[in-house]
Chains A and B, each alone.
Chain A
């Protein structure tokens, strides 16, 4: 296996949880809900996926448990912000703190246990293609899902009537409501989807990336996913580009260090963030395009009776 191939393999593993969590958050934000609880939902997904895998012996049960945990946890956010109309920013932050705490408690009896890794599935024929085969077609189920989810989101948002309604809710909930779209229901579903994706991202952490459970193992990846949504200017495929760019820079800097090129490691460690900022600047020079994509009702509460 060549060095380029090895680097790319590491990049895919590092980028997948970011892409998944960001894709889910993108849908929630497109419906006008800003959920800062991604980190909390992700870590809940990670702990539940790990626990369910240990108890059942099957990582696939674990994946389902991770998705369910993320979705259930996001339901709490939905209830507080959509039904009780609590402040979205404050509730999201609380969700993150709560998730980190609760996951630590739930996971206490699973600390130090040996994880069961979600094994790769080789796709017949395609996995035999040189270079591309081992990279893209000999991966675990969560990677395939991540690409399918992004493609699905793109299709849903821009090619279906329901997707159009969801975007309408995010852009102007008042108008959507006047047209007869159930704003609260749409947002609940979007938040649930976001939670499920974050939970799946968490499952990737504790079943594929590092098959183990330790407290706080998401280590800030939920926040990076949130930044990626803005980075992608709310376009699904750009989330993939952003996630992989971030992953590529993070992995290359480790290789650069191991290679001994003599650039200070603190600088190299900051490169992924520097790259993000540079791209953001490049994107934002076209202000009109940015405004078109930004959900205009993002973060604003909606009370139907008003």
Chain B
């Protein structure tokens, strides 16, 4: 079967180690329009390895848009030009024959480059460890539906819980702010009964950790919402602002 291939010129960010100076390297590829963006990079890496060259480092895991591991800035947009998909769901048919594609890592002070296109996003894990959980006593499995939650509230919480923690919001933000991510997590818990006991301490701790790790302040450009692969709304940031303000007024924690 003869398949029509498209030729593309790639300009890919190469950086050998965290604190070294990187630069763009040009590559030419001929690829099936049916290939995904990551498959295109896999093919390129196979060829590089055949020629004893250092393959391009990039992250991926599930390759079906749910794990949040892959994340590249493609032609200036986190996860590429299409809305509401992760990099792994972007296919080469969306590019024109002969097009030049710039591939860069996510940029933010809190997401330092490890190598090439891979960045260290453990800052997100640290924010979650600061309060993005509920404390429960271990014991028997509770009955399903033992805590009544209306369908509307459950759906709203799920909209926020759809965040896959990929970091595209931080990469899209000119301020390197993690408000959409933290907003989604805080909103999800604050809507559900299970999240109530730690509601105030959670938002205080998560925001304090977010600030400590060097994420920026939100200036409401809403670029995060536009680039989010899961379409998380900036209403989550509004909710975070409100939760944080009320927690600061009401909580008994004078140290935080």
Q: Do A and B bind each other?
A: no
B residues in contact (CB < 8 Å) with A: none
